[in-house]
Amino acid sequence: MNSQIYPTLEIPQTLAAGPGPGNTDARVLQAFASAGVADHMQGDVLRGMVECKLMLREIWGTSNTYTFAVAGTGWSALDTMFSAVMPGDKVIAFNNGTFSGIDTLTLRIKAATPDEHAANPLDPQAASVTVIDIPHGQSVTGDMVEAALAEHRPKWAFMAHWETGSGRINDLRGFSDACERHGAMGLIDAVSSLGVEDFQIDNYPGIAGWASCPQKGLCCLPLTYAPVSFSDEYIDSLKSTGAYSYVHNPIFEARHWGIVDGQDVEKGTYHRTHSGYAVAAFHESLRLTLTEGLAKRSGSYRTHEKVLRDAVTAMGCEVTSDMPSLLVLNLPPDLAGREMELVQNCRARGFGIWPTLSAPVQVRIGILNQLNRQAISQIIRLFAEAMRELGGTVDFEEIEALLESRYGTSIAA
């Protein structure tokens, strides 16, 4: 039998202008590529892991000892966080987009009884889980959380901080306060907010568990390390119930990072063969985040998002999102229904914007690690050209005047 030998895979450069993964910082790529070949117990790799967990605590603004990272993407971190939810646990989960919807499915899988799994293995209808569906394009409010928790009195409450499916920011303060009042342990999907928004998780004591990712706000590579942080209350609950997981059990994972019985120890005691390359990249992304400072980075996102928002609005689009790293928009009425066509045209040219992944179909344009005049101007011009090619009316002189007025003197290139 003759084997077919395929040519070397060559992936062209793409302008990452979607909800994530973002534009990986060149310094992070350099750290990944220049790491020496080392086993997972090499001294510099272990030192890097210690420094990573310390930097994570500072970036996230927490004294939680159980703050570390899970090998993989944001899904790995979320699965780790949700592993404390046991069959029959009472859960309230808020769904206002594609990804919080997947999170609520995960929670139903975790909380379902064996009989509920047998009845519908891929979509168990766990009686102990109440999903609060919020209409697309709306945010979860503190009043919504208060009402649901007052009525159901769950052990766990879940919400996404920033929902990239619809581009909406949900009420973190209202969620945390309601969890405190009603004795629920809050769980937060912070996949899209960490590294973009300037917030400290210790200011939200109603939230017991947090999960994020490396490839969005931290501008690291996917499949490196996904941050998590857990309160002592969360860990105590986990100790009392156990978890149907070995790889993603937070207590075991923490031991890999040298966190044992609530204390940092000299050496990890849980075996995981990890990558020195991934540690080097993750370490550099955290170091760069701290060097820049979250306050400055958060302000830059809001400044540049406003330029992009005003530009697409001038093209006749309607923006329905409120995230500073992502626009979700409707095309002008004369192009309505052609969102997928526009997105496909852009992606065929290496301009990586995205549609929404559930109805209604909208266009998503992200600016992760694109915080400069050149990048934002390129995104705006490419989108304007795509609109024109589809038959839309775009005043290019107006767009150039807007860019000049915003970037001429007020923002350095």
Known binding-site residue numbers for substrate: 364
Amino acid (one-letter) located at 379: I
Element of type H or E holding 300: helix 294-314
What distance in Å separates the CA atoms of residue 110 and residue 230, rounded to the nearest whole number?
Answer: 18
- CB within 8 Å of 398: residues ≥ 6 apart: 314
Q: Which amino acid is at 303?
A: T
Which residue positions form the known binding site?
Answer: 364
Max intra-chain CA distance, the chain:
69
How far is 189 from 110, CA to CA, in rounded Å? 16
* Amino acid residing at 24: T
Residue 364 φ then ψ, to 5° = -120, 130
Question: Could you tell me what percentage of the chain is helix, strand and coil, using 3-state DSSP and rounding each to the nearest 5?
Answer: 45, 15, 40
Confirm if 222 and 214 have CB atoms less than 8 A apart. yes
Are 146 and 186 spatial neighbours (Cβ–Cβ below 8 Å)? no
Closest CA to 345 of 326, 359, 331, 358: 331
